[in-house]
């Protein structure tokens, strides 16, 4: 193998590495409602800053090592004395990376207190419990009983919020990438996460710790809105469900109580008071069904009622495919009407 051909091959390989690095950087520029690089909360903004500083530090180290390698490949061998080679290797391969990593370590440690600071006294408090496989949400109000719902959060923009996180089964991890970092939910403990949304929008939250069969189908929406709109929404969530008035909806309500659904689910304003499954008092107004698995539409209600296991493997809810289609339709109409 000639020296010229060897150099060409080396340069070609380095070119491929450069293109790969640029491709990774291009992909990291993606935005969306579940992107850590498109922050919409104070804590997420700090995490994004730390991330980009680490990218810059990694680039400095990478460029120093690659630059040193290119120089050594192109420079004549006779131009390197033993002393000069040692300086290049130690300086480019050890000193520069050590300095950059030390700076990043100090910078990262200095940012940590801002990421774990508790929410101020009087902030909105929300208790979230990781279930198998969905999210139990309770707004802890100072004026009365907690307001319970499931698989959806509404937050006021610009207001600090404290989440009280727990689990009574396995370890889950609560994560809203666009708003803050993740926090584990550990059985037997209550962990806390404080965040402050800075931008109105709808963002996606997930479980970031593998927890079992339907781990990937354990999502939730976070709606950040103006304070007056949030207050109206929370006041509506505290109200009892309106009685069904249409004949089909009334049939669905009767079936809900007759087929055993009330044993697991609560619908405030009716005799349904189960606590095993999600509170369905206002389920028709939520953005999704089955923890972000299905859109909240009548046809999807029918599908969820009849094919629970097929839609979400491992779900603890039994499927009701034994009911006639007419009765499943009535249940779907009733549940969709709970707004």
Whether residue 115 has pLDDT greater than 80: no
Q: Judge whether 248 and 333 are in contact, CB under 8 Å.
A: yes
Residue 128 tokens read as 């979230």
**Ranges of each domain in the chain:** 3-115, 124-237, 247-336
Q: Percentage of residues in the chain with pLDDT exceeding 90?
A: 58
The answer to whether 278 and 137 have CB atoms below 8 angstroms apart is no
CATH number of this structure's domain 247-336: 2.60.40.420
pLDDT tens-digit profile of 27-83? Answer: 555 567 788 888 999 999 999 999 999 999 989 888 888 888 787 777 776 666 777
Tens of pLDDT, residues 165-211: 999 999 999 999 999 999 999 999 999 999 999 999 999 999 999 99
Residue among 182, 185, 175, 179 at smallest CA distance from 132: 185
Structure tokens at 301: 């209600």
Residue 107 pLDDT level (bands cut at 50, 70, 90): confident
Whether the CB-CB separation of 45 and 39 falls below 8 Å is answered with yes
What does the DSSP 8-state code read for residue 189? -
Q: Are 124-237 and 247-336 equal in CATH topology? A: yes
CATH of domain 124-237: 2.60.40.420
Residues 6+ apart with CB under 8 A from 316: 132, 276, 277
Rounded CA Rg of the chain: 27
The residues with which 127 forms a beta bridge, in sequence order, are 138, 164
Report the chain's mean pLDDT, rounded to a whole number.
87
Exposed/middle/buried for residue 198 (C-beta within 10 Å: 0-12, 13-18, 19+) = middle
pLDDT surpasses 60 at 21: no
And the tokens for 230?
């949030």
Residue 7 contacts residue 74 (beta carbons within 8 Å) = yes
How crowded is residue 225: how many other Cβ atoms within 10 Å of its Cβ? 18
Q: What is the pTM of this model?
A: 0.83
Whole-number Å distance between alpha carbons of 339 and 337: 6
Cis peptide before 133 (omega within 30 of 0): yes
Q: Tell me which DSSP letter residue 318 carries.
A: P
pLDDT in tens, 264-285: 999 999 999 999 999 999 999 9
């Amino acid at each position: 193998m000639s020296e010229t051909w060897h150099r060409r091959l080396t340069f070609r390989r380095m070119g491929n590495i450069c293109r790969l690095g640029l491709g990774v950087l291009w992909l990291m520029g993606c935005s969306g409602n579940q992107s850590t690089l498109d922050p919409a909360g104070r804590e997420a903004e700090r995490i994004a800053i730390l991330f980009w500083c680490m990218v810059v530090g990694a680039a400095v180290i990478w460029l120093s090592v690659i630059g040193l390698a290119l120089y050594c490949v192109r420079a004549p061998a006779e131009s390197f004395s033993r002393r000069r080679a040692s300086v290049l290797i130690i300086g480019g391969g050890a000193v520069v990376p050590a300095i950059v990593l030390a700076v990043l370590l100090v910078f990262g440690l200095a940012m940590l207190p801002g990421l774990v600071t508790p929410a101020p006294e009087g902030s909105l408090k929300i208790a979230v419990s990781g279930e198998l496989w969905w999210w139990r949400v309770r707004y802890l109000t100072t004026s009365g009983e907690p307001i319970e719902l499931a698989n959806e959060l509404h937050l006021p923009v610009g207001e600090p919020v404290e989440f009280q996180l727990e689990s009574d089964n396995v370890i889950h991890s609560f994560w809203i990438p666009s708003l803050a970092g993740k926090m584990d939910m550990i059985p037997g403990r209550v962990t806390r996460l404080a965040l402050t949304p800075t931008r109105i929008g709808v963002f996606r939250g997930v479980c970031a710790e593998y927890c079992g069969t339907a781990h990937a189908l354990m999502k939730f929406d976070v709606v950040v809105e103006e304070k007056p709109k949030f207050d109206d929404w929370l006041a509506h969530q505290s109200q009892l469900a309106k009685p069904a008035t249409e004949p089909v909806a009334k049939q669905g309500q009767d079936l809900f109580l007759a087929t055993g659904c009330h044993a697991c689910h609560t619908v405030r304003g009716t005799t349904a008071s189960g606590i095993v499954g999600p509170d369905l008092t206002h389920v028709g107004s939520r953005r999704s069904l089955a923890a972000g698995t299905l859109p909240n539409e009548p046809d999807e209600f029918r599908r969820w009622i009849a094919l629970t296991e097929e839609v979400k493997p491992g779900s603890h809810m039994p499927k009701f495919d034994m009911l006639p289609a007419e009765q499943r339709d009535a249940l779907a109409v009733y549940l969709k009407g709970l707004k």
